[in-house]
Amino acid sequence: MTAPLKLSRFYEWGRKIVGVGRNYRAHCAELGNPVPKEPVLFLKPTTAYLPEGKGPTRGPPGCTELHHEIELGVVISGGGTNIPEESAMDHVGGYVLALDMTARDYQNIAKQKGIPWTWAKCFDTACPISEFVPKEKVHDPQDLDMWLKVNGEVRQKTNTNDMIFTVPYIISYISKIMTLERGDLILTGTPMGVSGVQPNDQLEAEIEGVVAMKFTVGDKL
């Protein structure tokens, strides 16, 4: 008999990673992007997963501007299509602290050319994650203090109540376009303060009182 799949190991299941972009006003402003009227969505492949302790995060070949983006990650426990916002939280199994590592140089090129963000967002190790936090340990996902330091210096700091689109809204919105499945991860967008990192930089991040993690930046892939 095979062992039951544990939700805490969701990153081994091969389910999708859905990214939400531009979900904090100050972050839209710092990159000169308009504040969206609807969530901006993109996908990352599951080969981007990098659980803590499994090595460094690395930019794609030729990348000259690798940025950190700290984000609250929402892990789906019960799938569905056309999920109503009112019951969306019933589909959440837990959370992770995540980094949506982004090759900003490639993203800027993609924006200019009007082509997808694949080189910018989808490279191996582009999604470092903390250990899984069961839903019961988070009182309110819309009231979490989180921060990221590079070599001990705070670069990003926010409370998730600054999100433009809330977790239930995002779940409902995504599920109108694609079926959400048990084990999917949603990255809910990054706050202000994204900045470039270099090989050997030490990244430290925390959702205060909930979970913390550390990663090193490695050489390019």
| Residues of this chain that bind Mg ion (CB under 5 A) | 69, 100, 190
Among positions 19, 80, 168, 193, the unique one binding ligand LVPGNMZS when judged by CB under 6 A: 19
Gap between the Cα atoms of 185 and 128, Å rounded: 12
If we measure between CA atoms, which residue out of 186, 191, 202 comes closest to residue 43? 186
- Contact between 100 and ligand LVPGNMZS by CB under 6 A: the answer reads yes
Among positions 11, 16, 21, 174, the unique one binding ligand LVPGNMZS when judged by CB under 6 A: 21
Q: Residues with Cβ < 8 Å from 189, sequence gap 6 or more?
A: 19, 20, 21, 22, 23, 24, 27, 71, 163, 164, 165
- Contact between 31 and ligand LVPGNMZS by CB under 6 A: the answer reads yes
For strands 196-197 and 185-187, give the pairing: unpaired
Bridge partner list, 54 = none
Q: Which does 206 bind (CB under 5 to 8 A by kind): Mg ion, ligand LVPGNMZS, none?
A: none
Q: Residues with Cβ < 8 Å from 13, sequence gap 6 or more?
A: 5, 46, 182, 183
Least distance in angstroms from the C-beta of 99 to Mg ion: 9
Read off φ and ψ for residue 118, nearest 5 degrees: -55, -50
Bridge partner list, 103 = 66
Residues 102-121 that bind ligand LVPGNMZS (CB under 6 A): 102, 107
User: Which residue sits closest to ligand LVPGNMZS, CB atoms considered?
Assistant: 21
| Minimum CB distance to Mg ion smaller for 158 or for 190 | 190
- Contact between 192 and ligand LVPGNMZS by CB under 6 A: the answer reads no
Site residues (CB under 6 A) for ligand LVPGNMZS?
Answer: 19, 21-23, 27, 31, 69, 100, 102, 107, 189-190
